[in-house]
Structure 1
Amino acid sequence: MQTIFILVVIVALIFVFKSIKVVPQQHAYVIERLGRFHATLGPGLNIIIPFLDRLAYKHDLREIPLDVPSQICITKDNTQLQVDGILYFQVTDPQQASYGSSNFVLAITQLAQTTLRSIIGRMELDKTFEERDDINRHVVSALDEAAANWGVKVLRYEIKDLTPPKEILHAMQAQITAEREKRALIAASEGRKQEQINIATGQREAAIQQSEGEKQSFINRSEGEKQAAINRAEGESESIRLVARATAEAIHMIAQTIRQPGGTEAVNLKIAEQYIDAFGKIAKSSTTMLLPANASDVAGIVATAMNVVKTTQAPGSGSNTHR
């Protein structure tokens, strides 16, 4: 009896152990009962019927990176290109992932390679380097549509490396070197062109400034000459006025003097002296002299001059006449 009891306890423990299933977080277990799908166990403690239920599949529900083996693709311009990429996917339906495909990882890998070859075949070599993002989007779109029946969601695809043949690499490097040299020559030419433009602009501005300076100098000089001429004219006018005033005052003084007693005799004496002095100067300056017929008649000449003086005095000598 004791042996039977021990066997029963052992069988019970085995039964309990077999009936308890603990599923980790972000995992899912697929259970089959008598060979058919029965349930999907979520994270935590789960109870199954031993010997009737069987754990058929275990799935990781986290994002899984899948390295897609490198392959040789032919571009539109018949150039071989070795492409290496990585794919990220996630199991969204454990039942579909278990029964939709015998090996969904292999199916995704193969589909990614064939899709990539198709996309690269429609592009030229230079475009493949420029449009990596477009290639990635096309691969993800094609894979996600097909993988929906496998219970898998394709999240993204990234090209890790694009490697053309060595000959193409050398040609591309030579082209890049030529382009850089071309850009360097263009930049140097543009620099020289800009330098010539700057020099010409500076010379033109300097000529304009010089012309403006000469123009302003001419204007200033003209204004100065104009002002100088005005000043000279005003000075000459003032000088003439002063001379005329002095002459008038002198004549007035002479006229006043003549009206004084003895003034007439003084005028006679002055005229006689000037007459004699004038003939003396003529005799000194020339060997030939032309004399009037009455040159020896000094008294007659003086009398003639006095008649002129008296005639000039006549309008102002009314008081002497009345006397």
Structure 2
Amino acid sequence: MFVLTIVFLFVMFILFKLMLIVPMREVHVIERLGKFRTVLEPGFHFLVPFVDRVAYRHDTREEVLDVPPQSCISKDNTQLEVDGLVYLKVMDGKLASYGIENYRRAAVNLAQTTMRSEIGKLTLSQTFSERDSLNESIVREIDKASDPWGIKVLRYEIKNISPSMKVIHTLEKQMEAERRKRAEITLANAEKAAMINMSQGERQEAINLSEGQKQKRINEALGTGQEISIIANAKAEGMEMICKALTVNGGDDAMNMLLKEQFIGQVGKILSEAQVSVVPAEMAKLEGFFEGMEQVTHAVSNSSAKGAR
């Protein structure tokens, strides 16, 4: 019974060594007597016991490897701390096993050196604004170098770009100066626009005033012209009526009477307003006549008195 148990266990051990099931997400590298034989895809396979063995197992799914932070110098001599993630996949199990000792560590180291090289080609501002192109450049370089390793670098992503505290302080000052500059430009533009609007308003006001003065003078001229025209027409009508009146019997006498009345009225007005004695010319002649008569009478009286003596 004991012998049968030993034989059964030996047979099961042989069957275990003979059969191999490769999971869906893996490939197995088989060596026969220490020499590469084949790469087994997922499924059920038979091996030669004690001759074939599984040397390497590789996961065929996409892997993500963390790239540790490292110091980089940009094109404008700015020190940066940069880390990232590299995504890769095993494409050839044989090359991944025999092409390099550890493709994961090699991929991370290659990503670091490539990242330093690519960042050295860019300025500080470009490292922030051109992350996509930077990632593409790193993937292209890593994929080219890792092709003999049987892996495919799918993408690379930069996680953090951290300048030193001194650089951050300098950037803050630069941003503050830029904001101050934009504020001053905005204020200057606002003052310029205000001055332009004010000058345009003053110009429009002057135009409106000149237009108003012009229209006022035109209206005054038109009013004066109409006034003169009305007065002239009235005078012409009056003269015409006077001429018609003079042609009627008694018109001359009426005109003389009217002129005398106007003369008397004007003389009275002058006498009431004048500061000196003003008399008509005829009255002045009468006054001279009486003064002459007084002188003659005085002379006659003197001569009579002398004869009586």
Task: Assess, with a 3 A threshold, how the Cα gap between structure 1 residues 77 and 231 changes in structure 2: closer, same or farther.
Answer: same
**Structure 2 gap ranges (5+):** 264-279, 287-309
Could you say which residue in structure 2 is the equivalent of 1:83? Answer: 82
Could you say which residue in structure 2 is the equivalent of 1:156? Answer: 155
* Contact 1:120/1:128, CA 8 A, preserved across alignment: yes
Task: Assess, with a 3 A threshold, how the Cα gap between structure 1 residues 76 and 224 changes in structure 2: closer, same or farther.
Answer: same
Deviation, 1:47, is: 1.7
Deviation, 1:147, is: 1.0
* Contact 2:99/2:148, CA 8 A, preserved across alignment: yes
* Contact 1:32/1:39, CA 8 A, preserved across alignment: yes
1:206-260 Cα distance to aligned partner (Å, 9 max, x none): 222222233233333433444444444455555555x279538x73xx5xxxxxx
* Contact 2:143/2:153, CA 8 A, preserved across alignment: yes
Letter in 1 for 2:216: S
Q: How large is the Cα RMSD of the aligned pairs? A: 3.7
What's the secondary structure of 2:201's corresponding residue? helix
What's the secondary structure of 2:86's corresponding residue? strand
Where does 1:131-150 land on structure 2 (aligned, <5 Å)? 131-150=130-149
Work out the CA distance in 2 between the residues paired with 1:221 and 1:193. Answer: 41
Could you say which residue in structure 2 is the equivalent of 1:49? Answer: 47
Work out the CA distance in 2 between the residues paired with 1:65 and 1:170. Answer: 34
TM-score by length of 1: 0.66
Task: Assess, with a 3 A threshold, how the Cα gap between structure 1 residues 287 and 186 changes in structure 2: closer, same or farther.
Answer: closer
Work out the CA distance in 1 between the residues paired with 2:230 and 2:126. Answer: 88
Deviation, 1:54, is: 2.2
1:260-316 Cα distance to aligned partner (Å, 9 max, x none): xxxxxxx8xx99x99xx99x999xx854789xxxxxxxxxxxxxxxxxxxxxxxxxx
Where does 1:250-265 land on structure 2 (aligned, <5 Å)? 251=248, 254=249
**Aligned sequence identity (%):** 40
Deviation, 1:162, is: 2.4
Task: Assess, with a 3 A threshold, how the Cα gap between structure 1 residues 209 and 63 changes in structure 2: closer, same or farther.
Answer: farther
**Structure 1 gap ranges (5+):** 255-266, 291-323
When structure 1 is superposed on structure 2, of 144-153 and 95-104 the one drifting more is 95-104
Could you say which residue in structure 1 is the equivalent of 2:198? Answer: 199
Letter in 2 for 1:110: N
What's the secondary structure of 1:102's corresponding residue? coil
Work out the CA distance in 2 between the residues paired with 1:39 and 1:64. Answer: 23
TM-score by length of 2: 0.69
Deviation, 1:76, is: 4.1
Letter in 1 for 2:30: I
Could you say which residue in structure 1 is the equivalent of 2:245? Answer: 247
* Contact 1:20/1:47, CA 8 A, preserved across alignment: yes
Deviation, 1:78, is: 4.2
Where does 1:56-67 land on structure 2 (aligned, <5 Å)? 56-67=55-66
- Within the alignment, does 1:166 sit opposite 2:165 as a pair? yes
Deviation, 1:108, is: 1.2
- Within the alignment, does 1:120 sit opposite 2:87 as a pair? no
* Contact 1:15/1:50, CA 8 A, preserved across alignment: no
Task: Assess, with a 3 A threshold, how the Cα gap between structure 1 residues 13 and 190 changes in structure 2: closer, same or farther.
Answer: same
* Contact 2:20/2:47, CA 8 A, preserved across alignment: no
Work out the CA distance in 2 between the residues paired with 1:234 and 1:8. Answer: 157
